[in-house]
Chains A and B, each alone.
Chain A
Amino acid sequence: MKKNQTRKVLLSAFILVTTLIASGAATAQDAKQPYPTMAPIEQYLIDRDAEIALARSAAPDAISHDASVIVLTRHGYETAVQGKNGWVCMVGRGWMAMFDHPEFWNPKIRAADCLNPPAARSVLPYVYKRTELLLAGHSKPEVIAAIKAAIDKKELPALEQGTVDYMMSKSSYLTDNGDHNGPHLMFYETAKDGAAWGANLTNSPVLSVNYWYISAEAYPQLKSFPPLSVFLVGVDKWSDGTPAPPM
């Protein structure tokens, strides 16, 4: 039971429950939409120093101490701390999730995340673009179209090899589900699905989702996006070294 709960939390974080995808019992459009629209911007903002501390808590101090930190403002993310090791720490909001994720606009989401240098170079630009457009008031279809255009014009980079995110903060709020949190690492691959890593199978420690969508039908334009899968591996400690609940 505990194991299932934790998996559910991780999947819900960026992600949605595997069974929802696998069973086809409900598409994201069918699912309950507790957060159908964006909340007032203030609900997504937090105290700058608190945001820096939360962002850094995503990874062990040995990594995050020298990382850059970006914080959310009314118009997008901006650099609050210039780092020295190429890593970038941030606090993700709900809209970092797939475009049809039920918690996309959940104002409670605070997903502390430290991206390694390849991820900072090749994943973070998508985060910036998406955030700026959404905060400027563009609709999801408009944002999707703008990102696609930027990809086609090579204004957004291709995924680099060796990308990883640390999401080991004890203080994150990843989802309304379960315990709301669980320490994990995320790897990005240009795979079409999780089969390449044996993800989402019974007893597999690897979970996988499509970066862009839960259901390709929700926003059909996403079908033409470059394949991008996110693989999650749960870890047994929080970033401060204390043990995490078993998965």
Chain B
Amino acid sequence: MRMKKLGAIAIRSLALLVVLGTAYRAMAQDATTPYPNMAPIDHYLMTDQGAEIALARSAAPQSISRDAAVLVLGRHGFETAVKGKNGFVCIVERSWTSAPDPEFWNPKVRTPICYNAAAALSYLPRNIKRNDLILAGRTKAQVDEAIVAAVEKRELPPMEPGAMCYMMSKEGYGGDSVQHWPSHLMFFYSQTDPATLGAGLPGSPILAMSDAQEHLTTFAIGVQRWSDGTEAR
């Protein structure tokens, strides 16, 4: 029983590492990707706006997300569906900002996330820009290049102190390889050595993913409950 539990923890941690790693395009493009091109835009949209709002809000406990702004994906990018009161912003990410490279165009991916005010100011603009470019028909390479250039020119801001987000939804779809993300928090820093926070070392509860080109380091910590308070392990 104990071994089983330990194994589950290890698998969960590994899954989180894999998902985070791939989410930031650390993995090389897989030539055998089942999703080589963008699907028709309708496949990425949710026809029921109410369902998208609810899914977005499920990323964080209701005590946080009920007063958050909610953005939903339209044909040309994210649009404000609900104005918030507490500085948090919740969205449902699509494959091109959250899935492993082989699933960059997987139209089934839906990953809810709620950013705090600091992350909404500093990290979310990258996400928004990436979406806008994708929906405008740019290739992945073109989008990456544009984001890096915007970071270099400071058109996209560096990370604000205390920028973080909640990814605690029981719902959503992380992709075919990791269908459901573990419940976790993420913290956004401008380029930081992962070792500074002890991330990725044996036994450390902190995982990290660095993107030198974007001057961005993301740290993740698994948490023990889903956003609705039920146990996640």
Contact = CB atoms under 8 A, between A and B. Distances in A.
Contacts of A236: 9, 205, 222, 224, 233
Interface residues on A, range: 35 or more
A168 B204 CA distance: 10
Nearest to A85: B195
A237 B206 CA distance: 12
Contacts, number: 117
Interface residues of B, number: 44
Interface string A184-221: 01010111000111100111111000000000000000
A243 interface: yes
Nearest to A236: B224
Interface string B191-219: 01001111001111110000000000000
Contacts of A118: 196
B203 A246 contact: no
A154 B222 CA distance: 37
B221 interface: yes
B201 A243 contact: no
B36 to A, nearest CB: 38
A234 interface: yes
Interface stretch (B47-55, B145-153, B162-170): B162-170
B28 interface: no
Given A190-B161, A195-B86, A203-B225, A241 B203 contact: yes
A185 B199 CA distance: 12
B189 A161 contact: yes
Interface in B120-168: 161-162, 164, 166, 168
25 contacts: A59-B198, A59-B204, A62-B202, A116-B198, A161-B161, A164-B197, A166-B198, A185-B205, A189-B161, A195-B87, A198-B86, A198-B88, A198-B116, A202-B61, A202-B229, A203-B225, A203-B228, A205-B223, A205-B225, A234-B224, A235-B205, A235-B222, A237-B205, A240-B203, A247-B225
Given A59-B204, A198-B88, A203-B61, 10 more contacts: A60-B202, A62-B203, A162-B197, A195-B86, A201-B63, A234-B224, A235-B205, A239-B203, A241-B6, A243-B9
